């Protein structure tokens, strides 16, 4: 099981949209996926039509009161399982910070899932902040995938998250954490700015930048309000085809190409 943190401390960059739809696309490609919502705003959870209380989250497991495996529930979609979130998860920031081992707890739980061979990929949807939940996710992940909005302010945020990755490595909390990729989101091909930002990121991170870009489309924003992934809300639209392309590129990078679908 490969653990991938989908992270960006800047909000509004398409992080949750990417966590939801990349997970769904991988599941549709035949991969067994566990999606963990670590954001107390619980947008990933509600976007899948799930509703849980605080006990259904990773909160009790991080405090040592439960096993994280017991918090996994079906998403209602084949091959996609979830550990939901709830607003109560915000309290874990305070309680975890009191312990010296707070960066190790999530990693230990996820390491315990790996020998069971239950999942091919575990995706972590992280909060848009640099708090304990975000750093715990980075300490637990094998790699990080950064969604980046196609605007100049996004470049500033990229520099910050790369700095945090270096800090996590240098601290010894996760010396092998790698920057797996950068996904450009909210791309508007009609503007020169969007193209310039993509080119700029490619100049600095040519190996990490995904060729697939996620377009700015109203359908991607609408889907969570209907408790649907883009494949359920607008299966033939550009948003669905873009996330299928992202999943396929992701699988090629991980040498784990799933079965092709008859159509996108």
CATH number at residue 124: 3.40.50.300
Tell me if 196 is assigned to some domain: yes
- Compute the distance between CA of residue 261 and CA of residue 264 in angstroms, rounded to an integer: 7
Q: Is residue 261 part of a domain?
A: no
Residue-level pLDDT at 256 = 57
Contact 7, 158 (CB under 8 A): no
Whether 260 maps to a domain, the answer reads no
Q: What's the domain count of the chain?
A: 1
Tokens representing 123? 């995706």
Structural domain boundaries, residue 170: 2-253
pLDDT at 153: 79
- 264: in domain: no
d(CA 244, CA 22): 8
Cβ-proximal residues to 101 (8 Å cutoff; 6+ apart), any chain: none
Has residue 62 been placed in a domain? Answer: yes
Q: What is the pLDDT along the chain (264 residues), one digit of tens a residue?
A: 999 999 998 888 999 999 999 999 999 999 999 999 999 999 999 999 998 877 889 999 998 889 999 999 999 999 999 999 999 888 887 887 776 777 889 999 999 998 888 999 999 999 998 888 999 999 999 999 999 998 887 788 888 899 999 999 999 999 999 999 999 999 887 788 889 999 999 999 999 999 999 999 999 999 999 999 999 999 999 999 999 999 999 999 998 544 444 333
Q: What is the pTM of this model?
A: 0.92
**C-alpha distances out from residue 191 to 13, 72, 169, Å:** 18, 42, 37
Which residue in the block uniquely carries the two structure tokens 């989908």?
Answer: 6
Does residue 258 lie in a domain region? Answer: no
Q: What is the pLDDT of residue 157?
A: 81
Task: With respect to residue 98, please indicate whether it lies within any of the assigned structural domains.
Answer: yes
Does residue 259 form part of some domain? no
Q: Judge contact between 7 and 161, C-beta under 8 A.
A: yes
209 three-class SS: strand
């Amino acid at each position: 099981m490969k653990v991938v943190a989908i992270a960006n401390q800047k909000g509004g960059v398409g992080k949750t949209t990417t966590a939801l739809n990349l997970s769904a696309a991988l599941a549709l490609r035949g991969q067994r996926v566990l999606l963990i919502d670590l954001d107390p705003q619980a947008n990933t959870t509600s976007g899948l039509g799930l509703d849980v209380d605080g006990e259904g989250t990773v909160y009790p497991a991080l405090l040592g009161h439960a096993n994280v495996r017991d918090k996994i529930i079906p998403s209602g979609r084949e091959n996609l399982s979830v550990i939901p979130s709830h607003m109560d998860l915000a309290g874990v920031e305070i309680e975890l910070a009191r312990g010296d081992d707070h960066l190790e707890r999530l990693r230990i739980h996820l390491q315990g899932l790996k020998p069971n061979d239950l999942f091919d990929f575990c995706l972590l949807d992280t909060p848009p902040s640099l708090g304990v939940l975000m750093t715990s996710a980075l300490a637990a992940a094998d790699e990080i995938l950064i969604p980046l909005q196609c605007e100049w302010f996004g470049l500033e945020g990229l520099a910050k998250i790369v700095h945090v990755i270096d800090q996590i490595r240098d601290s010894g909390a996760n010396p092998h954490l790698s920057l797996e990729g950068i996904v450009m989101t909210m791309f508007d091909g009609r503007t020169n700015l969007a193209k310039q930002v993509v080119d700029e990121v490619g100049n600095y991170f040519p190996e990490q930048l995904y060729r697939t870009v996620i377009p700015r489309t109203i359908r991607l924003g609408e889907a969570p309000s209907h408790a649907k992934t883009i494949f359920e809300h607008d299966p033939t639209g550009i948003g669905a085809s873009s996330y299928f392309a992202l999943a396929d590129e992701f699988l090629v990078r991980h040498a784990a190409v799933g079965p092709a679908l008859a159509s996108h």
